[in-house]
């Protein structure tokens, strides 16, 4: 897609935007796909589809190695055809709307988190991206960045995605370069294949110090546990 104009904004800044089936560009952003998925995105979408993360990864995603982080990253595999459409887009809109990924919810807002290495204090900045194909900015509805994020129910996504950013930052700092196959596989399983991770724990008789069943049985709690473990691995 075409390059857009990026403008830094504050959380309480108002902008005009609406995205619903009446906009002339409806569904246009769901093609020419380059859609990254975070660990929490995968949990939400695979649970919405009522399938395992292992099956979801096989059917709907591609794995790459991040050029800077050297960590596995996951993107949605576009449907066949030159338009590179999202496999979940239909003429009526997103077929996984309730489970849609954070980047689909956030657009056209960009949220950037930075954390001080010394004080661990966090700083969040926001920007709006205005791309020529997106006509949502021509709509009369006015709202703040905060209202947009609240309407998109982004809070749990942001919380879990921020934990992922911490892991990436630790890895980049302490283990730059390529990971060995064992750590790469561990990272992939914990972060992206939560059902595979659960099965591994069961198979090997729980290699970790006592994980309560309430954690093992809950995708998000298990992801939190796994991410804390990865933090130790990368420290």
For ligand SF4, the binding residues (CB under 6 A) are: 19, 23, 25-30, 35, 86, 88-89, 94, 96, 100-101, 104, 107, 133-136
Q: CB of residue 189 vs ligand SF4: minimum separation in angstroms?
A: 23
Q: CB of residue 155 vs ligand SF4: minimum separation in angstroms?
A: 19
Residue closer to ligand SF4 by CB (options 41, 186) is 41
Residue closer to ligand SF4 by CB (options 26, 229) is 26
User: 84 — alpha (psi -120 to 50), left (phi > 0) or beta?
Assistant: left
Q: CB of residue 41 vs ligand SF4: minimum separation in angstroms?
A: 9
Residue closer to ligand SF4 by CB (options 100, 111) is 100
Q: CB of residue 176 vs ligand SF4: minimum separation in angstroms?
A: 32
Residue closer to ligand SF4 by CB (options 101, 226) is 101
Q: CB of residue 114 vs ligand SF4: minimum separation in angstroms?
A: 26
CB neighbourhood size of 128 (10 A): 20
Per-residue tokens: 193: 């294949």
Q: CB of residue 211 vs ligand SF4: minimum separation in angstroms?
A: 31
Nearby residues of 76 by Cβ (< 8 Å), 6 or more positions away: 33, 35, 37, 60, 61, 62, 86, 87, 88, 101
Whether residue 23 is preceded by a cis peptide bond, meaning omega within 30 degrees of 0, is no
Identify the sign of the CA torsion 97, 99, 104, 106: positive
Residue closer to ligand SF4 by CB (options 42, 86) is 86
Per-residue tokens: 17: 């935007």
Matching residue, tokens 């009369």: 140
Identify the sign of the CA torsion 225, 230, 231, 233: positive
Residue closer to ligand SF4 by CB (options 76, 179) is 76
Find the helix or strand (DSSP H, E) in which 94 lies.
strand 93-94
d(CA 39, CA 27): 24
């Amino acid at each position: 897609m075409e390059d857009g104009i990026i403008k830094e904004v504050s959380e309480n800044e108002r902008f005009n935007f609406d995205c619903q089936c009446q906009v002339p560009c409806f569904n246009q952003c769901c093609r020419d796909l380059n859609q990254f998925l975070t660990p929490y995105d995968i949990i939400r979408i695979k649970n919405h589809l009522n399938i395992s993360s292992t099956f979801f990864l096989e059917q709907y995603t591609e794995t790459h190695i991040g050029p800077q982080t050297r960590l596995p990253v996951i993107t949605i595999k576009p449907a066949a055809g030159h338009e590179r459409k999202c496999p979940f887009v239909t003429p009526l809109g997103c077929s996984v709307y309730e489970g849609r990924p954070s980047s689909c919810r956030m657009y056209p807002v960009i949220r950037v988190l930075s954390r001080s290495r010394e004080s661990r204090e966090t700083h969040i900045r926001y920007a709006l991206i205005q791309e020529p194909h997106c006509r949502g900015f021509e709509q009369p509805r006015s709202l703040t960045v905060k209202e947009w994020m609240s309407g998109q129910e982004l809070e749990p996504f942001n919380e879990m995605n921020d934990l992922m950013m911490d892991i990436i930052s630790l890895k980049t700092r302490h283990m730059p370069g390529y990971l060995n196959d064992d750590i790469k596989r561990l990272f992939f399983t914990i972060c992206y294949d939560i059902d595979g991770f659960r099965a591994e724990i069961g198979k090997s008789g729980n290699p970790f110090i006592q994980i309560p069943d309430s954690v093992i049985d809950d995708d998000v709690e298990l992801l939190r546990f796994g991410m804390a473990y990865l933090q130790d691995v990368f420290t």
